[in-house]
Amino acid sequence: MDIRVDPQPEADLPADVLERARAVAAAPVSLVTGVDVALIAGGGMPVEAGNLVDYVARAANDFASQIRMEKGAERVAALRAELARRGLDGFVVPMADEYQNEFVPRHAQRLAWLSGFLGSAGAIIVLADKAAVFVDGRYTLQVRDQVDLEVFETRSYLDVPKWVGETMKTGQTLGYDPWLHTETGVKALLEACEKAGAELVAVDGNPIDAVWTDQPPRPLARIVPHDLRYTGEPAADKRARMAEAVKSAGASALALSATDSIAWLLNIRGADVARTPLALSYALLHDDASVDLFVDERKVDAALGAHLGNQVRVEPEAALALALAGFRDKPVMVDPASAPVWFVDRLEQGGATIVRKTDPIQKAKALKNPAELNGTRAAHKRDGVALAKFFCWLAANAPKGTVDELSAVERLQAFRQQGDLFRDLSFDTISGAGPNGAIVHYRSSERTNRTLALGELYLVDSGAQYLDGTTDVTRAVAIGTPSAEHRDRFTRVLRGHIALAMARFPKGTTGHQLDVLARMPLWQGGFNFNHGTGHGVGSYLGVHEGPHSISPRPSSVALEPGMIVSNEPGYYKEGDYGIRMENLVAVVPAEPGEDDSPFYELETLTLAPIDRSLIDPAMMTGPELDWLNAYHRRVRDEIGPRLDDKTRAWLEAATAPITA
Amino acid sequence: MDIRVDPQPEADLPADVLERARAVAAAPVSLVTGVDVALIAGGGMPVEAGNLVDYVARAANDFASQIRMEKGAERVAALRAELARRGLDGFVVPMADEYQNEFVPRHAQRLAWLSGFLGSAGAIIVLADKAAVFVDGRYTLQVRDQVDLEVFETRSYLDVPKWVGETMKTGQTLGYDPWLHTETGVKALLEACEKAGAELVAVDGNPIDAVWTDQPPRPLARIVPHDLRYTGEPAADKRARMAEAVKSAGASALALSATDSIAWLLNIRGADVARTPLALSYALLHDDASVDLFVDERKVDAALGAHLGNQVRVEPEAALALALAGFRDKPVMVDPASAPVWFVDRLEQGGATIVRKTDPIQKAKALKNPAELNGTRAAHKRDGVALAKFFCWLAANAPKGTVDELSAVERLQAFRQQGDLFRDLSFDTISGAGPNGAIVHYRSSERTNRTLALGELYLVDSGAQYLDGTTDVTRAVAIGTPSAEHRDRFTRVLRGHIALAMARFPKGTTGHQLDVLARMPLWQGGFNFNHGTGHGVGSYLGVHEGPHSISPRPSSVALEPGMIVSNEPGYYKEGDYGIRMENLVAVVPAEPGEDDSPFYELETLTLAPIDRSLIDPAMMTGPELDWLNAYHRRVRDEIGPRLDDKTRAWLEAATAPITA
């Protein structure tokens, strides 16, 4: 149903209040504090809070309802008319916004608005007579459900160059918005166009924005300081340290669009996008350790100003263009894989020299300091309490047939919200019963919701944002009695998880090297899983962060102490069930090796029982069973004392030792 | 002692016979056929064979005796004078010859001649007032023994750019011989020079050749057809198949300097360098599948001419320059990582377009066909017989203190020479007793020879060239009773070996991904080994070949069925002992995985017992012990029936099952 905003009740409110209210509605509403009425009021006249909260809810609902598959034909037609007006033969619509962050705010969900596709990665190319949605393996099925196949063909993301080569003609022009593509991304598009003899053209102003008449505003949410007790390092020290990195790379400034880098650098957190406390902004870090922060100034209150100090100049986003143009003959560092190519264009127009280097903040941010590591350990204990309560509740209720995917999600969130320092989920919970568990990036909806049924597996992948740490955990559990096949596959996945968890490795080892450990027990049976084994995780920041990973994809980034990474092998049988076994781990120093050479190991952070009914101990080696029993003892010892009697009794049974 | 050739006895021989005799002496003498007197005679007047054989032996001795560390100062001084004469400030002396093969013929051992260093990898840079030998980690100790440290400083190979940056001054010139460097290699040198502000200059004629007055001639050895029963594919088919690859890469010809590629392509084998049946030559493969083979025509007899057929034109090496200059406006494929940069220079001067691609023959050669795989299986059985005899003899004699490293090498070679189709060793045997076993690329000499002693480990790494296959095997054995530490380290190495041997993996998996399997049991104890886990092996060709490997060094080359690769983790305790456990394995199809997806596994080719006294079964898992016992049963079943009673009895005990 398409609920439109009724302007009547707000007729008495001033235009600027309504404008702020719509912008607040374009940001997610805090699970902890609700709608930020004071921000909407803007320190001006008193306003009726109830009315405002209602208005924000309706506006948010309106924004959400704009994503509609059945509008695809009409919207693509409007876009085509706009392209024709501009003399363009085609246009690339990426998933990303200017910040290349995985959670994209409402106004920048252009791909979803155009097509209805709600995956987290992909691209659309619209030509005069053809349009295609390109997605990766995770979304092959989902995309066909979510877009109008009369309007779009669906293709593999890898086919972009081939498709461009086949469909575009010599001399044709393909437009792209230089704000929404990195230089690395544009290079790939350029190659594809060159092969087709087509020309790739940067547009001035996104043509979708021109036809999206009720496009939501940019989100408005207050930016807050992130306390030193959680960050462990004052922002001034971080600025000085990173300014040294900029200088030693031969640059006089670093141009930043990565909002997680900015959040870490300045010890600030925002609320502009879902599930990650980011503030949409740009920044220039100068070699004198001062920063220009380009941001909607309504988000910055006095407390934040005091926190930032006089070495951080807050400026409106519109001032960025002029600032980038002011580096004539100076070297400016840009990460070609994360900054919009618009940065590079603008800097070059201004006569700056581009120093192309990986953003040094990404690695610095990945190396958690002791305060951050202790914070995440504490957060994982609180998360473990919520998980124990949830799985205890699930064990009692699911076999009765009274639990479905959506009610499970609600219950799990409720348990988490009881924990101290909880701010939000870290991503939308994946709650997949039976065959839905086999969809790797499944999100339950009313349409797909399933009751958890006896004899089936249930997969739940979830996480939370606490002020002191970000969590991410997956468990597969059997509802009732699992089959022999369930146990075989689960035990293989678990053995892979344990092989990685037990790894000890010398300095310099990459996650790419370790990846095979998590796969070999599956490979031995002719099975595999079609995703990485581990992604980096932030400290009250992104639940997916770089630069490290554990993956079959080549990477030269070594795992270093302080990095947090997930350990999540899985197995998926389409149309039947899904298994994933995910704990977060931290890279920590191990006992040094021979000649005192540095060795590292993985400290498991996540504390939640592993379903014993899914384990076949006969398939496991002695050291694997030892690991499992020691892990369960740890869960019992650390989480048990924080539980009520009933839940503790359940946990003790759920973590009892297993022998071969 | 410097034995000079006495010209007297040869006074009666014609000059061309003597010239051929010296050139034959510059090639290794066949262990099977001895000196090729007919080749020296050249089909001309009859000559006295005994006299000639004697002459060849003395000439070879003379060539070998030219490598002398104590001449370093004098030779570097002569080189400096030559550089000054040419107006060069420095010169790079690589280990490689024009063919970038690991076994370098006498006349091209310029680095060894200049310095005395006998390692298999390294480089020297000579400046007016400084000279440095750059070696990798394997040779850090050896180089300090073999070069005059008054003349050369010794540095890590990784330090070349740093050293050039520190020692060369702006405007200085560094010479290099474009025949001896690949384009990839030159790029690295260029970068180093650019940083120093120095200029890298290609020389015309190697300045070392100008001062090396008694430089041996280029080697002369007969080229022979390699029979279809061993190659499994007629050369005409190979030429056609590779011509297709050249065409599909958009080239009209492929310029080849890789002598192993040429040998495989034409089904020919030579004898110009030690331990690998290669013929020094260049070739052009045209898109019509015809070949120009540039080679010393004295090596080509009528039988070979018939084998090559009329699609292969034999031309003198001197004709290559003109041929490369004849590709105006045509695309020519060159492998920038294997061809001399001289090829590129010459082609560009002639107006050709360079298509830079990895030589497609390298991969085609690595994918052994059924005839080659069956050949190598048969060769490994004969090799296994020799190994059983050797280890039986060793077990009987070493504990008496009557065996030393050199006598063991002799005995092992003698056993191998008894086998059918034996042609040569595939590399100089590494025979290291006690602490010598810890030197990864150790070669015993009279000076370093050690008696095998009770309580010590003995490491022997050896292999042979059979017409039907190339072998390479390492075993560590305990002389008398090993220590608990020996057993612990050996069992870790063995567990790593077994983890790799048991691997099953999907299509697309690289050796880089699998490498960690062979290391984890060592890493768990804080140990490691400082070399790759596996290298490719040829089919009666190089004992080290690409493009695949199993290594911590990143590689995107997937392991594919037909590839032969070594599985050789190790452990080295400097000054004490060395352990390496090496079998060759072939990548073969495994039972397909789910959805019929291709999976591969490793078939072990090498058949030799693993010293049971070094195994601690308590450290091993059930599946590891099962692998070990099944392997030993296979050795017993396949090798036992080919042995005399005494050796068979020994083998049965040596391969008896072990239980935990």
| C-beta atoms of A517 and B516 within 8 A | yes
Q: Residue B92's beta-bridge partner residues? A: B125
Is B348:B328 a contact under the CB 8 Å cutoff?
A: no
Return the number of CB contacts < 8 Å for A and B.
86
| C-beta atoms of B513 and A517 within 8 A | no
What value does the mean pLDDT of chain B take? 95
Quote the pLDDT of residue B5: 44
CA-nearest residue to A526 within chain B is B593
CA angle (B170, B175, B180) in 5-degree steps: 140
3-state SS class at A315: strand
Q: Which of A513, A556, A621 lies at the smallest CB-CB distance from B516?
A: A513
Interface with A, mutate which of B512, B515, B516, B596 (most A CBs under 10 A): B516
Q: What is the pTM of this model?
A: 0.93
Task: Identify which has the larger pLDDT, A499 or B442.
Answer: A499
Instruction: State the nearest Cα–Cα gap between B520 and chain A, in angstroms.
Output: 7
Chain B residues in contact with A513 by the CB 8 A cut-off are 512-513, 515-516, 552
Distance between CA B580 and CA B456 in Å, rounded? Answer: 15
Residue labelled with tokens 């082609």:
B347
For residues A296-311, give the mean pLDDT. Answer: 97
**3-state percent breakdown (helix, strand, coil) of chain B, nearest 5:** 45, 20, 35
| C-beta atoms of A523 and B503 within 8 A | yes
Q: Is B482 left (phi over 0), alpha (psi -120 to 50) or beta?
A: beta
Residue partners of B142: CB distance under 8 A and separation at least 6: B117, B118, B119, B135, B439, B441
Chain B residues in contact with A593 by the CB 8 A cut-off are 523, 525-528
| C-beta atoms of A526 and B597 within 8 A | yes
pLDDT band at B48 (very low <50, low <70, confident <90, very high): low
CA-nearest residue to A519 within chain B is B505
Distance between CA A109 and CA A469 in Å, rounded? Answer: 28
The yes-or-no verdict on residue A4 having pLDDT over 50 is no
Beta strand B173-176 with B199-202: parallel, antiparallel or unpaired?
Answer: parallel
CB < 8 Å & 24+ apart, contacts of B291-298: B291/B239, B291/B265, B291/B266, B292/B319, B292/B323, B293/B262, B293/B266, B294/B319, B294/B320, B294/B323, B295/B223, B296/B218, B296/B220, B298/B20, B298/B39, B298/B42, B298/B220
- Containing A259, the helix (H) or strand (E) segment is helix A259-266
Percent of chain B with pLDDT over 90: 89
Q: For B376-404, how does the pLDDT look when each residue is reduced to its tens digit (9 = 90+)?
A: 999 999 999 999 999 999 999 999 999 99
pLDDT band at B47 (very low <50, low <70, confident <90, very high): low
Q: Which residues of B touch A (CB under 8 A)?
A: 502-506, 509, 512-517, 520, 523-528, 552, 554, 556, 590-594, 597, 599, 621-623
| C-beta atoms of A524 and B504 within 8 A | yes
Quote the pLDDT of residue B1: 41
HSE of B596 in the Cβ direction (CA atoms, 13 Å)?
0
CA-nearest residue to B557 within chain A is A554
| C-beta atoms of A592 and B527 within 8 A | no
CA-nearest residue to B571 within chain A is A594
Is B642:B385 a contact under the CB 8 Å cutoff?
A: yes
The yes-or-no verdict on residue B330 having pLDDT over 70 is yes
Neighbouring CB atoms inside 10 A of A24's CB total 26
DSSP B465: E
For residues B402-422, give the mean pLDDT. Answer: 98
Nearest of B26, B565, B511, B560 to residue B296 by alpha carbon: B26
| C-beta atoms of B512 and A516 within 8 A | no
Structure tokens at A570: 């899985």
CA-nearest residue to B601 within chain A is A524
| C-beta atoms of A516 and B513 within 8 A | yes
Q: For B463-472, how does the pLDDT look when each residue is reduced to its tens digit (9 = 90+)?
A: 999 999 999 9
Residue partners of B168: CB distance under 8 A and separation at least 6: B89, B90, B127, B174, B193, B196, B197, B198
Is B100:B83 a contact under the CB 8 Å cutoff?
A: no
Q: Residue B285's beta-bridge partner residues? A: B254, B291
pLDDT band at A48 (very low <50, low <70, confident <90, very high): low
Instruction: State the nearest Cα–Cα gap between B601 and chain A, in angstroms.
Output: 9
Nearest of A534, A258, A510, A237 to residue A371 by alpha carbon: A237
Distance between CA A215 and CA A210 in Å, rounded? Answer: 9
Distance between CA A354 and CA A360 in Å, rounded? Answer: 15
Interface with A, mutate which of B510, B513, B619, B625 (most A CBs under 10 A): B513
Is B477:B458 a contact under the CB 8 Å cutoff?
A: yes
Chain A residues in contact with B621 by the CB 8 A cut-off are 621-623
CA-nearest residue to B596 within chain A is A526
Distance between CA A154 and CA A147 in Å, rounded? Answer: 9
Instruction: State the nearest Cα–Cα gap between A142 and chain B, in angstroms.
Output: 21
| C-beta atoms of A520 and B503 within 8 A | yes
Structure tokens at A608: 């939640």
What are the backbone angles phi and psi of residue B356, rounded to the nearest 5°? -85, 110
Quote the pLDDT of residue B10: 67
For residues B581-597, give the mean pLDDT. Answer: 97
* Helices B645-654 and B370-397: angle between axes, nearest 10 degrees: 90
3-state SS class at A154: strand
Q: For A590-616, how does the pLDDT look when each residue is reduced to its tens digit (9 = 90+)?
A: 999 999 999 999 999 999 999 999 999
Q: Which of A504, A512, A513 lies at the smallest CB-CB distance from B524?
A: A504
Is B272:B278 a contact under the CB 8 Å cutoff?
A: yes
- Alpha-carbon Rg for chain A, nearest whole angstrom, is 25
pLDDT band at B13 (very low <50, low <70, confident <90, very high): confident
CA angle (B264, B269, B271) in 5-degree steps: 140
Structure tokens at B125: 């840079």
The yes-or-no verdict on residue B195 having pLDDT over 90 is no
DSSP A558: B
Percent of chain A with pLDDT over 70: 98
Residue A245: what residue type? Answer: A
For residues B309-316, give the mean pLDDT. Answer: 98
Q: Is A549 left (phi over 0), alpha (psi -120 to 50) or beta?
A: beta
Nearest of B446, B437, B504 to residue B474 by alpha carbon: B437
Distance between CA B338 and CA A593 in Å, rounded? Answer: 38
Is B403:B480 a contact under the CB 8 Å cutoff?
A: no
3-state SS class at A236: helix
Interface with B, mutate which of A502, A513, A522 (most B CBs under 10 A): A513
For residues A446-455, give the mean pLDDT. Answer: 95
Is B649:B395 a contact under the CB 8 Å cutoff?
A: no
Interface with B, mutate which of A523, A591, A624 (most B CBs under 10 A): A523
For residues B458-478, give the mean pLDDT. Answer: 98
| C-beta atoms of B523 and A516 within 8 A | no
Beta strand A312-315 with A224-225: parallel, antiparallel or unpaired?
Answer: unpaired
Chain A residues in contact with B503 by the CB 8 A cut-off are 520, 523
Q: Which of B525, B528, B594 lies at the smallest CB-CB distance from A526?
A: B594
Instruction: State the nearest Cα–Cα gap between B7 and chain A, in angstroms.
Output: 57
CA-nearest residue to B515 within chain A is A513
Chain A residues in contact with B594 by the CB 8 A cut-off are 526-528
Q: Which of B523, B594, B597 lies at the smallest CB-CB distance from A599?
A: B523
| C-beta atoms of A514 and B516 within 8 A | yes
Q: What is the DSSP string of B64-107?
A: HHT--GGGHHHHHHHHHHHHHHHT-SEEEEES--TT--SS--GG
Distance between CA A399 and CA A479 in Å, rounded? Answer: 6
Residue labelled with tokens 């049991």:
B521
**ipTM of the predicted structure?**
0.91
Chain A residues in contact with B504 by the CB 8 A cut-off are 520, 523-524, 526
| C-beta atoms of A505 and B514 within 8 A | no
Quote the pLDDT of residue A2: 45
| C-beta atoms of A503 and B520 within 8 A | yes
CA B649 vs. chain centroid, Å, equals 36
Residue labelled with tokens 């002011």:
A326
Residue B309: what residue type? Answer: G
